[in-house]
Structure 1
Amino acid sequence: MMQFPTSITDFNIIESTLREGEQFRNAHFSTEDKIEIAIALDNFGVEYMELTTPAASPKSASDLQTIARMPRNFKLLTHIRARMDEAKLAVDCGVDGVDIYIGTSPYMREYSHGKSLEQVVAVGQEVVACLKTQGVEIRFSTEDTFRSNLADVFTVYRAMDIAGVNRVGVTDTVGIAEPLQTYQLIHSLRQAVDCDIEFHGHNDSGCAIANALCALQGGATHIDTTVLGIGERNGITSLGGLVARLYTIDDALVSKYDLAALHDVERLIAQKIGIDVPFNNPITGDAAFHHRAGVHTNAVLKNPTVYEAINPEDFGVTRAIDIAHRLVG
């Protein structure tokens, strides 16, 4: 069997179901829902969880404080605009880290915040300097990275790296990035900054999981996910999809997670938002390990790896084999 080397050695998942996922059209999480989801994802083993900015509403601030007080293993983050008032509010809520963002594409600069590149850098430096005194992790992202001028975003990234952020964030805000493009951008960025690199990829054109993989191969250290990929529009990289993709490269890459917990985590979120887990969902979809064609079933009964790259037993799920139908032969 062909073996392909991988440059991926270690990475962190920033689980954003309670931030990006809360922006999904069907998501209306109560405080109790958020606690239940946070516990489930903590048990799965994600390294970080990101919650909605406390500036969104008093309820968001209260929920953030509630999760901050929970016994937990993950680091708690919140997602804020590059504003001093939001930075101070985030720290007051007891988070472990603050994720700052500001748009850098012509669209964002003209129609969102109206700032020049110089102003973007200046406000970023001001907010980062403030947060540096508070002992929290800091990420600074350029929103809409892939529609921004490359020289502009590298100017911002270098300035934030010098300012002392823990990581910079690359964001495919409207889901237009291609896998090779993602790899090339992050590989170049890896040569330009010393800090860690985070990738946040939307799925508008169906490349979110592939782009996340290429981001890791290019040198990213952190990947944003949501359970079932829920989020704005049609969402971002799915937690299960990323795990499946990495497992097929080397199952040791995801051995730090409780893989058998994935099934219940996904069904928990599906129940909370009133949808079914898609039949073709990686690993946990009802059809994921369902074999039907005669040639397939004959081989799988002898050795499942003939038609399976993923061992369902590692995820606590089972395979199904159809035998009484006209395709058996």
Structure 2
Amino acid sequence: MSLSEFAIVESTLREGEQFIKANFSSDDKVEIAEALGAFGVEYIELTSPIASPQSRQDCERLAGLGLPSKILTHIRCHLEDAKVALATGVAGINLTIGSSSLMRQFSHGKNINQIIDLASEVLTFIHQQAPNIELRFSAEDSSRTSTEDLIKIYSAIEKLGVVKRIGIADTVGISTPMQVFELVKTLRQFTNLDIEFHGHNDTECATANSYTALEAGATHIDTCVLGIGERNGITSLAGFIARLYATNPEQIKCKYRLEELANLHELVARKVGISIPFNHCIFGESAFSHKAGIHTKAMLNSSETYEAINPRSFGVTRSILINHKLAGKQAINHRANELGLSFNLSQLKDITHRLKTLADQQSLTIEDVDNILYSYHCQ
């Protein structure tokens, strides 16, 4: 499968609600859903309507907005959950049940055959009630479930003929990229269904695992804005987009409206009361800031030397920093040109030496640097 042939299942309004600081109002959810739709995600996943009375109302409200993204809800593999989900008018239902030995023992107490029987009953019921609704079935904690058990479960589910895709969940974020690759590749040999990957970030492998899942044959990737979610969250939407952009920028620029991503991140950060991390891959304060002299020299000649991502694609600007002891004369000359000043090589060397000497003794602002440049120009 080409890496361009995939869909994002954006879960900020489901998995993201499990983030420690998240408490979205109904209006918050509408704002976020509209921003996700403007960016162009294919799916928006919502909290189960049985979670609370407001959750049910929110499913109904968002399902009726007419957004370009398909509205899904995520439920347990329970018949009563399914009945409530159907009544909300969502376009798709994502069912899940734990499949690992830990989940079987400490969560629901069912064996593999009982899981298959229950899933078959619920999925068949939904399909009978709403033949056009999009169904996904996921084995929670897939990464700690034996491959044999997963194949047995998913083969039985596929035979029902009602499910569009199956889901692989790295529920506690323990998988490595190679493990994800081998699991997806193995399952791809046993199924023609679409494969969705849901990766948690407990060991900071979520984005790498998601990209590797695509390489192995997955078709859908779950993300959250800013990577929020239960515990340390899941695959970051922007992180995943950045990884894809670095591989094939033109495809990603055609597939999504990248200029909408900044507003989306600012919106969600504000709603959950956090700052965008300084080292965020696209919108962090330091993402496109260049400091070391050898870097800035090359950057001024060609930005591709030290940037895998063009910030302009996302409506972001780069910074060439010169108010520090690592500044080089090319960067200082660049700033002088911005100010309409011109210096010969000897003057630039003197200015650079003076700036470095001062920076060893104190913190400098860009205004301090400009004053030095102006003072030399007046000499």
Alignment partners' CA distance in 1, 2:75 and 2:272: 24
**Deviation of residue 210 (structure 1)?**
0.2
Aligned equivalent of 1:83: 78
Q: What whole-Å deviation, never above 9, does each CA across 1:181-225 have from its counterpart, x for those lacking one?
A: 001100111110111000000000010000000000010000000
Residue identity matched to 1:267: E
1:11 paired with 2:10, answer no
**Deviation of residue 16 (structure 1)?**
0.2
Alignment partners' CA distance in 2, 1:59 and 1:143: 25
Alignment partners' CA distance in 1, 2:18 and 2:28: 15
Aligned equivalent of 2:107: 112
Aligned equivalent of 2:57: 62
Alignment partners' CA distance in 2, 1:100 and 1:252: 34
Aligned equivalent of 1:179: 177
Alignment partners' CA distance in 1, 2:252 and 2:221: 13
Aligned equivalent of 2:147: 150
Q: What whole-Å deviation, never above 9, does each CA across 1:102-131 have from its counterpart, x for those lacking one?
A: 001011001100001110000011111112
SS of 1:26's equivalent in the other structure is coil
Alignment partners' CA distance in 1, 2:250 and 2:304: 18
SS of 2:204's equivalent in the other structure is coil
CA contact (8 A) 1:297 1:323 kept: no
Aligned equivalent of 1:43: 38
Residue identity matched to 2:143: F
Please give the residue correspondences for 1:157-196 in structure 2 after superposition, counting only pairs within 5 Å.
157-164=154-161, 165-196=163-194
Larger gyration radius, structure 1 or structure 2: 2
SS of 1:192's equivalent in the other structure is coil
SS of 1:139's equivalent in the other structure is strand
Aligned equivalent of 2:281: 282
Runs of 4+ in structure 1 over 4 Å off: none
CA contact (8 A) 1:172 1:202 kept: yes
**Deviation of residue 67 (structure 1)?**
0.3
Alignment partners' CA distance in 1, 2:149 and 2:66: 41
**Deviation of residue 264 (structure 1)?**
1.1
Residue identity matched to 1:323: I
SS of 1:266's equivalent in the other structure is helix
Q: Using CA pairs under 8 Å that are at least 6 residues apart, name the structure with larger relative contact order, 1 or 2.
A: 1
CA contact (8 A) 1:10 1:253 kept: no
Q: What whole-Å deviation, never above 9, does each CA across 1:219-252 have from its counterpart, x for those lacking one?
A: 0000000000000000000000000000000113
Alignment partners' CA distance in 1, 2:251 and 2:236: 16
Aligned equivalent of 2:90: 95
Q: What whole-Å deviation, never above 9, does each CA across 1:66-102 have from its counterpart, x for those lacking one?
A: 1011021010100011111111111100010000000
Please give the residue correspondences for 1:256-295 in structure 2 after superposition, counting only pairs within 5 Å.
256-295=255-294
CA contact (8 A) 1:78 1:98 kept: yes
1:303 paired with 2:284, answer no
Alignment partners' CA distance in 1, 2:35 and 2:263: 8
Alignment partners' CA distance in 2, 1:82 and 1:229: 26
1:136 paired with 2:133, answer yes
Residue identity matched to 1:316: G
The size of the alignment, in residue pairs, is: 324
SS of 1:209's equivalent in the other structure is helix
Residue identity matched to 1:237: T
Alignment partners' CA distance in 1, 2:259 and 2:271: 20
Aligned equivalent of 2:376: none
Q: What whole-Å deviation, never above 9, does each CA across 1:281-313 have from its counterpart, x for those lacking one?
A: 111111110000001111111111111010000
Aligned equivalent of 1:227: 225
Query: TM-score scaled by structure 2?
Result: 0.84
Percent identity for Structure 1 against Structure 2: 51
Residue identity matched to 2:166: V
Residue identity matched to 1:156: I
The CA RMSD measured in Å over matched residues stands at 1.0
Stretch of structure 1 that moved more, 247-256 or 172-181: 247-256
**Deviation of residue 7 (structure 1)?**
4.6
Q: 1:73 aligns with which of 68, 71, 75?
A: 68
Query: TM-score scaled by structure 1?
Result: 0.97
